[in-house]
Structure 1
Amino acid sequence: MPTFYNFAAQVDEWAVKHPDKRAVWELDEQGQEQILTYEELRRFSNRIANGLGSIGIERGDRVLVLVSRGTTAYGLYLALLKLGAVIMPGSEMLRQKDIEYRVNHAKAKAVIGFDGVLAEVDPIRGQCASLKHFVTIGESKEGWISLDHLLQHQDEEFECAQTRSDELAFLSYTSGTTGGPKGVMHVHGWPFAHLAVAAKQWLDVREEDTVWATAGPGWAKWIWSPFVSTLGMGATAFVYKGRFGAETYLNLLQKYPISVLCATPTEYRLMAKVSDLESYQLQALRSACSAGEPLNREVIDTFRRVFQLTVRDGYGQTENTLIVGTFVGMEPKPGSMGRPSPVARIAIVDEEGMEVQTGQVGDIAIDRNMVALFKGYLDDPERTAKAFRGEWYITGDQGRMDEDGYIWFEGRSDDIIISGGYTIGPFEVEDALVKHPAVAECAAVASPDPERGNIVKAFVILKKGVTPSDELIAQLQEHVKTLTAPYKYPRKIEFVEELPKTTSGKIRRIELRQMERDRLRS
């Protein structure tokens, strides 16, 4: 790891090497394209850096970025890295409560958002004392300055900050089982470490590739694949701005020269179910990867049979990088997560931090000295300390390792819900539900689902005098969507008279999860 490193400077080097090559290739639902070459992206990000600098955004400032897929996201992330500011990725689906928490927890100085998020930010301004700058991707409005306005007459040259490899660069928030989301701290050296294995040995990105990674800005996975793994290798990032549709995705893969695909298991599962799958010709596609949740064997077998393509599973977290996967040239064991990264020491450990025997279930753990491991949770030494057990970082997932070194996922060791690639904390769902006047108490757990892997299910105790009904279920679902990001809402709600609890009164979600699994088997 070099002493000084800035990923944006590395991308600018590609602009010198092949200035006219496509860097970002954007396509909307109407078929309209917008293309930025590497040189155009370099100049675009420089203008943004100069514009943001002109209003007072400086090195070390924390900036919440709430934007959708497209060329602007790439320009913004590169510009903020060039300034030496700290990027706080945020989903465009975040609501007032989510935004207020992140801003206040991180003491963010600025928020950059698209038109749709302005109505979520404006009502909380008075509760966010640290916020000084409000930038919109759309037209200027009261209290907001448009990015287009900022870019007027800005110089296309900018001297990139010489950031230290151990200097904070990304502050991503991830759900916890209790309390608010945790601020995961990653430094400027993280992309350098990520490129070494994830980009080259898992995604298998090459300079000549067109890479379609379907994750949206706001998620650590967007930084992983569409941003770092693609631009860092000098390849072309393909961006589709439309909604997911299995046939739509297959048509795009057939029409455009996409050679590398990185999608969620849910997206692969739905594509694999298309009735006329054999009619599609994906001639350019040579590398396909999946991450976010376990990939089932049926999908792997289907893509092998129809397209002679092995979908390689991968596992990592917001707190680290790709740590387990089916790497290039490795024979997959369908259903397994793959083998540990060649640059990481991974083990299955017990409650004492001791490695368990082959085939025994335990906690999936990472050597705490791994270069790409996070630097802790922001201002939260207690939760940071709980993440470690002796020499190991404990991922929170459980698994077993077979005699060939392949790791098999067994489930979460805590109550986190992973649905369709989204990580959801039960506390966030429950906190929203109990704010409804009909709800006395509730618990949210993962419920197995054939398409999303799991969905959020809520067990709800109603207040006296409230009658259960389908109408009330719909009302509660909409209530949650209003208070927190829509992807967190409970797709199933069951009204109950009581919840299983410990002698100290804590809800035993593990019993509810097991009940859901038993129902699936029966």
Structure 2
Amino acid sequence: MHAAFGWKVPEYFNIAQACCARWASQPDAIERTAIRAHGTAAGTEFLSYLELQVRANALSHLLVTLGVQRGDRVAVVMPQRFETAIAYMAIFQMGAVAMPLSILFGPEALEYRLQDSEAVVAICDEQSVVNLQEVRGRCAHLRTLIGVGDAGAKADVPYEAALAGQPTRFEAVKTKADEGAVLIYTSGTTGPPKGAYLAHRAIIGNLPGFVCSQNWFGFAHSPNSDAVFWSPADWAWTGGLMDALLPSLYFGRPIVAYNGRFSPELAFTLMQEHGVTHTFLFPTALKAMMKAYPRPREHFRLQLQAMMSAGEAVGDAVFAYCQEQLGITVNEMFGQTEINYIVGNCAMNGDTSRGIGWPARPGSMGRPYPGHRVAVIDDEGNECEVGVPGDVALNRFDVHGDPDPIFFLGYWKNDTATRNKFTGDWCRTGDLATRDADGYLWYQGRADDVFKAAGYRIGPSEIENCLVKHPAVINAAVVPKPDKERGAVVKAFVVLAPGFAGNDELVAQLQAHVKGKLAPYEYPKEIEFIDALPMTTTGKVQRKELRLREEAKARAA
């Protein structure tokens, strides 16, 4: 597949044209559903591709009247809802840059990103308008707040009223494929958050991974098929925007939007009600679903055909649950905002009769997707031998020597950080893995999550996966606890399943459980029961927060 695959990136390309305008021009545009809204009032459940285009055209005109120009940053601070998708299409087609911001951000997080990006307009709803009002006076370039729904009364421009008088035809700007389209700020694990600047061509770079991880989505189905996509991933993040919303629209398929809190019951009910066939679920979500519904098909009628998971290691416990209880081989995927969707699986649910796909191996990140030259490299940029841990890295050029379109343009106003991301033509991820003889990668953890205890190198994900296999454990996070004699010992923070009590007896059970399955030095010397793990808004466990907590306790002792 790698040898036969070649990139065909046109000189001019626009995400909005590929994801909306071309479908809106088809004869069935009014019947073809772009977005289904879950849990909304009757009459507001569906948005067709024609309606998506017409409303995007009106919003583009409004933004022009507000002085937005080509290349200007426009913040989108909304959850999964029609207006969010409309905003993206409107911004892209006028040549401006969309800057997604999570509704979970507080004033300080919003202020930093708005100041750094010099965003000129922010589109928000009632969940974010108050925080935006609080900081706008300190954001010199932010001229206008557009308020959707109830936020209209608190913003400068009420969305619905302003759009009502706008033309519904808009002449899209002819953007180059290398032109900037999206500015997404990565979490600041080492210093302040950095703005990853993505080009329109990035969606093209995403497509091989999306198609493979969704078991040939867009190819195995005709345009009139029943494929329906859903993911709880926020459309303000790479996982929700680039791995769910945009690729679903690119293939002219409907995606389900849900503006509410995730729960296992919600996930299964939503997938049943909308006939969801393809999904992206975080490992943390799958763990909660596994514990809440050990035999889900006894309660729900599901039509799943493919599932991708990313953000953390899936682990063999969740892998087996998906196969045995959901009838799906979960395709693990790996990528970053800067270089997304580069490694993963394409299990085809075990069907390799057509000569496509490759078997998923429990616990493995998978193999490089076609078009991406991925390696495990050492500190000097040399490829590591089989079984030797190193940094997962992506080369600027594919196996044919052609530029890989997935690459970000650079960090916004931070050339030093951009240079530091690379060793020659290799872009480092900061994630450690080993490669086996068949080319599968095996995740070892973030470089800053791996630690040594009593001289042994410890990767937290394997221990966490082992703990989750115990019926008492919903989720777990492993960090080093400072120790004067051994440097550090293994400590586990554990979230318990309903019906279990955290006590010394359970601690001993869990320690014995890990001892019986892993190396003796890997079992947690200390276990602390916790109501919830600190998580990022993208569903990743914040081990750093737990690690810093332990270091502070050690200093105070």
Asked whether 1:392 is paired with 2:403, we answer: no
Distance apart, 1:307 and its partner CA: 3.0
TM-score (norm 2): 0.75
Q: Secondary structure at the match of 1:411?
A: strand
- CA–CA distance in 1 between the matches of 2:63 and 2:421? 36
Q: Which residue of 2 aligns with 1:13?
A: 22
The change in CA–CA distance for 1:50 and 1:29 in structure 2 (over 3 A counts) is closer
Q: Which residue of 2 aligns with 1:132?
A: 143
Q: Which residue of 2 aligns with 1:339?
A: 367
Asked whether 1:279 is paired with 2:298, we answer: yes
Distance apart, 1:378 and its partner CA: 0.9
**Among residues 188, 192, 207, which one is paired with 1:180 in the alignment?**
192
- CA–CA distance in 1 between the matches of 2:432 and 2:374? 12
**1:428-486: CA deviations, max 9, x gaps?**
xxxxxxxxxxxxxxxxx999584456489999xxxxxxxxxxxxxxxxx9xx99xxx99
Pairwise mapping of residues 6-155 of structure 1 onto structure 2 (< 5 A)? 6-10=14-18, 11-17=20-26, 18-19=28-29, 20-28=31-39, 34-139=45-150, 140-141=152-153, 144-155=156-167
Q: Secondary structure at the match of 1:170?
A: strand
Asked whether 1:228 is paired with 2:228, we answer: no
- CA–CA distance in 1 between the matches of 2:541 and 2:439? 35
Distance apart, 1:294 and its partner CA: 1.1
Q: Secondary structure at the match of 2:127?
A: helix
| Same amino acid, percent of matched pairs | 29
- CA–CA distance in 2 between the matches of 1:152 and 1:304? 49
Q: Which residue of 2 aligns with 1:379?
A: 413
Amino acid at match of 1:57: V
**Among residues 217, 228, 231, which one is paired with 1:205 in the alignment?**
217
Pairwise mapping of residues 338-417 of structure 1 onto structure 2 (< 5 A)? 338-369=366-397, 370-414=404-448
Amino acid at match of 2:439: G
Amino acid at match of 1:383: A
Q: Which residue of 1 aligns with 2:453?
A: none
**1:215-236: CA deviations, max 9, x gaps?**
1121011222332210001111
Distance apart, 1:278 and its partner CA: 3.8
Are the counterparts in 2 of residues 177 and 415 from structure 1 also a CA contact under 8 Å?
no
Unaligned stretches of 5+ in structure 2?
1-8, 349-356, 398-403, 451-459, 469-473, 483-530
Amino acid at match of 1:120: N
Are the counterparts in 2 of residues 312 and 325 from structure 1 also a CA contact under 8 Å?
yes
**1:166-213: CA deviations, max 9, x gaps?**
111101000233321001010111112222x02322223234311112
- CA–CA distance in 2 between the matches of 1:2 and 1:210? 29
Are the counterparts in 1 of residues 312 and 540 from structure 2 also a CA contact under 8 Å?
no
Distance apart, 1:70 and its partner CA: 1.1
Distance apart, 1:282 and its partner CA: 4.0
Asked whether 1:310 is paired with 2:344, we answer: no
Q: Secondary structure at the match of 1:166?
A: coil
Q: Which residue of 1 aligns with 2:234?
A: 216
Q: Secondary structure at the match of 1:322?
A: coil
- CA–CA distance in 1 between the matches of 2:84 and 2:479? 30
- CA–CA distance in 2 between the matches of 1:12 and 1:367? 33
- CA–CA distance in 2 between the matches of 1:499 and 1:279? 51
Range 183-192 or range 116-125, more displaced: 116-125
Amino acid at match of 2:189: T
- CA–CA distance in 2 between the matches of 1:378 and 1:368? 19
Distance apart, 1:335 and its partner CA: 0.3
Distance apart, 1:388 and its partner CA: 0.5
Q: Which residue of 2 aligns with 1:262?
A: 280
Are the counterparts in 1 of residues 212 and 345 from structure 2 also a CA contact under 8 Å?
no
Are the counterparts in 2 of residues 15 and 42 from structure 1 also a CA contact under 8 Å?
yes
Distance apart, 1:281 and its partner CA: 4.6
The change in CA–CA distance for 1:487 and 1:358 in structure 2 (over 3 A counts) is closer
- CA–CA distance in 1 between the matches of 2:99 and 2:307? 28
The change in CA–CA distance for 1:278 and 1:457 in structure 2 (over 3 A counts) is farther
Distance apart, 1:29 and its partner CA: 7.1
**Among residues 150, 163, 166, which one is paired with 2:175 in the alignment?**
163
Work out the number of aligned pairs and report it.
451
Distance apart, 1:33 and its partner CA: 5.1
Are the counterparts in 2 of residues 254 and 280 from structure 1 also a CA contact under 8 Å?
no
Q: Which residue of 1 aligns with 2:352?
A: none
**Among residues 301, 314, 319, which one is paired with 1:295 in the alignment?**
314
Asked whether 1:2 is paired with 2:10, we answer: yes
Range 276-285 or range 91-100, more displaced: 276-285
- CA–CA distance in 2 between the matches of 1:33 and 1:124? 32
Q: Secondary structure at the match of 2:128?
A: helix
Q: Secondary structure at the match of 1:186?
A: strand
**1:479-498: CA deviations, max 9, x gaps?**
x99xxx99979579556251
Amino acid at match of 1:12: A
Q: Secondary structure at the match of 1:288?
A: strand
Asked whether 1:496 is paired with 2:514, we answer: no
